[in-house]
Amino acid sequence: GQNIDQPTEMTATEGAIVQINCTYQTSGFNGLFWYQQHAGEAPTFLSYNVLDGLEEKGRFSSFLSRSKGYSYLLLKELQMKDSASYLCASLDSNYQLIWGAGTKLIIKP
Amino acid sequence: GAVVSQHPSRVICKSGTSVKIECRSLDFQATTMFWYRQFPKKSLMLMATSNEGSKATYEQGVEKDKFLINHASLTLSTLTVTSAHPEDSSFYICSAPGLAENNEQFFGPGTRLTVL
């Protein structure tokens, strides 16, 4: 079956670094997405990885290992506005997104 | 970047009534649009894939006669929740794939439906 696993909730301190992990098992693979979703709002695109390695974009970086079915989102210099849910999604062989349940990130001062 | 709009953003209706939600791609054409439902603290659940000029493809467990989808043009898809009940109260989000190589989907802002 198809499955995406990520932690339910994480807590971090303002200014610190946090890594949110995601493991996936999907029918075929056409890339791994990370989206940010604030409460009551639609998801917004953060990153897309289709090749192994690290993609850096400002304070956010995303890593992919296809052989391990594993990705992580790394957030540096955390700000209070980063408090949100972070959704991991895999694009399967039919180009359909398979979504994880999301990781609620709580930032404390 | 590509923009997707949704209307209305919030709707409150009485049980038994029907509600129509519109999803529009504003600056690009979308032959395919996706409709999701999200319950509080839960992930996005794909309900159906809307295809311009043909019937929508519904996910298992989603009643096609209850959630009517019409993709009338390359920029508009509508979702009608017929005979709504309180259990249909949810956050409904549409998305459309853009033309970028990264297969990014662009999301509408969502519609919060509350059925009394």
pLDDT (tens digit, 9 = 90+) per residue, B70-90?
998 999 999 999 999 999 999
CA distance A41 to B112: 10
B85 touches chain A (CB under 8 A): no
| Angle CA B34–A5–B107, to nearest 5 | 25
Higher pLDDT, A66 or A40: A66
| Closest CB from A40, A41, A99 relative to B44 | A99
Average pLDDT, integer, range A44-51: 92
- Could you say which of A40, A41, A45 has the minimum Cβ distance to residue B104? A45
- How close A53 gets to chain B, by Cα (Å)? 16
Point out which residues pair with B10 in neighbouring strands.
B112
Residue for token digits 């709707």?
B11
Residues of B with Cβ-Cβ distance to A91 under 8 angstroms: 103
Q: Which residues of chain B fall below pLDDT 70?
A: 1, 99-102
Please check whether residue B111 is in contact with residue B21, taking contact to mean a CB–CB distance below 8 angstroms.
yes
Interval B30-40: pLDDT, tens: 889 999 999 88
